[in-house]
């Protein structure tokens, strides 16, 4: 590792990992190197190695890239793509203009990444605002990158998953009801993601972060699309939300179908009205008052599969 990279300052840290800036001595390209403590517990080692194997499979513009890996001196070292622009909430709060067209582009980015994951038989199972980072290209344009694959799993064709896991506000009803599920749970989560970007808070939440209350609300399936906040949002966008948040996974859109939906694929269907004054304030208020604490930007890179114990529910089997 030290022969190839110059290790710099610490960027972030977590319960089981630290992340530092590093520079490739040959190419002068900067990356982030994550050091994970190798656990003596064999089950923990399996979790870490599973996450690494999933990261190694991926190569997509909207998914964070694993550059290379090292195993030495009791640690895993993962050299990751460096994400320079942090989290979505901060990006929105720092902008003066934020429109439905911006949201359409964000949904396109994330759903493109999801379609790729599903095409290589991977289910993420934890798509949420803080697991999507912002990267600015050299031309000034921004793209989103899906990260944190600690709950991701490989799924065989037509395999039914059973593990009850995820972040409560984003979990699909079929996970909560324990009836078995497939990759469309990721599509549901993108629906929650889209709803938050257009409304400023999740459709299903509890001020006290009461998981049971959140789950009850998800199962009932009632959420607001009629308040004054939604008057500035196009009917096409609201229709897409209902198709992504379809309780029956059989009738729910696939990632491919969502990408073909005109509001996502064509610019003219998303409104160009500044939502920043209303949505920005609601986002800031929700994340400030919520019992849930959001990890920002590159801090998310310090997450590992070992940090996910609180994201498993019931007596679920591991996949």
CB 290 within 8 A of CB 209: yes
Angle (CA) 59-16-129 rounded to 5° is 55
Residue 127, CA distances (Å) to 23, 25, 107 in order: 29, 34, 12
CA dist 303 and 319 (Å) reads: 19
Burial class (CB in 10 A: 0-12, 13-18, 19+), 57: middle
Other Cβ atoms closer than 10 A to 100: 23
One of 87, 126, 148, 186 is an active-site residue; which one? Answer: 126
DSSP structural state of residue 218: H
126 a catalytic residue: yes
CA dist 95 and 97 (Å) reads: 6
The residues, ordered by sequence, that sit 6+ positions from 134 with a Cβ below 8 Å of its Cβ are 83, 85, 86, 87, 88, 91, 142, 143, 144, 145
Alpha-carbon torsion (84, 311, 120, 53), positive or negative? positive
**3-class secondary-structure state, position 300:** helix
Six token digits for residue 75: 């640690």
Residues designated catalytic: 126
């Amino acid at each position: 590792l030290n022969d190839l990279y110059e290790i710099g300052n610490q960027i972030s840290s977590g319960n089981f990992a630290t992340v530092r800036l590093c520079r490739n001595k040959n190419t002068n390209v900067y990356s982030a190197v994550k050091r994970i403590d190798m656990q003596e517990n064999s089950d923990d080692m399996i979790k870490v190695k599973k996450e690494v194997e999933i990261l190694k499979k991926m190569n997509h513009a909207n998914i964070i890239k694993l550059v290379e890996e090292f195993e030495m001196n009791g640690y895993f070292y993962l050299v990751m793509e460096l994400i320079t622009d942090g989290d979505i909430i901060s990006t929105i709060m720092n902008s003066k203009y934020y429109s439905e067209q911006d949201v359409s582009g964000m949904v396109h980015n994330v759903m493109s990444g999801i379609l790729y994951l599903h095409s290589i038989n991977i289910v993420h199972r934890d798509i949420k605002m803080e697991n999507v980072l912002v990267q600015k290209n050299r031309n000034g344009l921004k793209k989103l990158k899906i990260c944190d694959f600690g709950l991701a799993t490989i799924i065989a064709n037509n395999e039914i998953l059973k593990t009850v896991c995820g972040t409560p506000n984003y979990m699909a009803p079929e996970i909560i009801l324990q009836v078995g599920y497939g990759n469309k749970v990721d599509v549901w989560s993108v629906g929650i993601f889209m709803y938050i970007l257009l409304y400023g808070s999740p459709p299903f939440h509890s001020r006290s972060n009461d998981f049971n209350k959140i789950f009850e609300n998800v199962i009932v399936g009632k959420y607001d699309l009629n308040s004054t906040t939604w008057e500035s949002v196009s009917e096409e966008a609201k229709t897409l939300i209902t198709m992504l948040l379809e309780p029956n996974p059989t009738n729910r859109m696939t990632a491919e179908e969502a990408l073909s939906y005109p509001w996502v694929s064509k610019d003219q269907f998303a409104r160009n009205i500044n939502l920043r004054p209303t949505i920005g304030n609601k986002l800031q208020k929700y994340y400030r008052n919520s019992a849930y604490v959001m990890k920002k930007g590159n801090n998310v890179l310090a997450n590992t599969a070992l940090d996910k114990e609180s994201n498993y529910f019931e007596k679920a089997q591991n996949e």
